[in-house]
Amino acid sequence: QVQLVQSGAEVKKPGASVKVSCKASGYSFSRYGISWVRQAPGQGLEWMGWTSAYSGNANYAQKFQDRVTMTTDTSTSTVYMEMRSLRSDDTAVYFCARVPVSWDLSSDYWGQGTLVTVSS
């Protein structure tokens, strides 16, 4: 069965970086993409960007263009999302999710989420 398992919760200070992993299993990894969506406490869903596991290319929403990098390790079927220069308003649950087709960046399977807390 399709599974996306994310790394554990993180606590970071403002200005630091965080790297969240998303390990995929149960499907042909390189045939799908992975997107990242975050959710601040009590708020809605915010789409951040996605990466094609096939090409390794990543595209980011403008808001995250300068601070986020998404990378793929096909040998372990793992995607990473790194965010730099963290601020308190980056405190959120970060989800990875599988993207079945490149022309519709919606997602059918989701990871369990990783809570990133930014606090001094």
Partner 1 sequence: DVVLTQSPLSLPVTLGQPASISCTSNQSLLYSDGSTYLNWFQQRPGQSPRRLIYKVSNREPGVPGRFSGISGSGTDFTLKISRVEAEDVGVYYCMQGVHWPPTFGGGTKVEIK
- Return residues touching partner 1 (CB under 8 A): 35, 37, 44-47, 59, 61-62, 95, 97, 99, 103-108, 110-113
Q: Contact at 8 Å (CB) between 39 and 51? A: no
For the bound state, the minimum distance from the C-beta of residue 56 to partner 1, rounded and expressed in Å, comes to 19
Side chain identity, residue 65: Q
Instruction: Give me the residue label for tokens 């499907």.
Output: 27
Pairing of β 114-118 and β 10-12: parallel
For the bound state, the minimum distance from the C-beta of residue 16 to partner 1, rounded and expressed in Å, comes to 25
Q: CB-wise, 92 or 97, nearer to partner 1? A: 97
Q: Contact at 8 Å (CB) between 113 and 8? A: no
6 is written with which tokens?
Answer: 């994310």
For the bound state, the minimum distance from the C-beta of residue 107 to partner 1, rounded and expressed in Å, comes to 7
For the bound state, the minimum distance from the C-beta of residue 92 to partner 1, rounded and expressed in Å, comes to 13
Cα gap 112→76, rounded to integer Å: 19
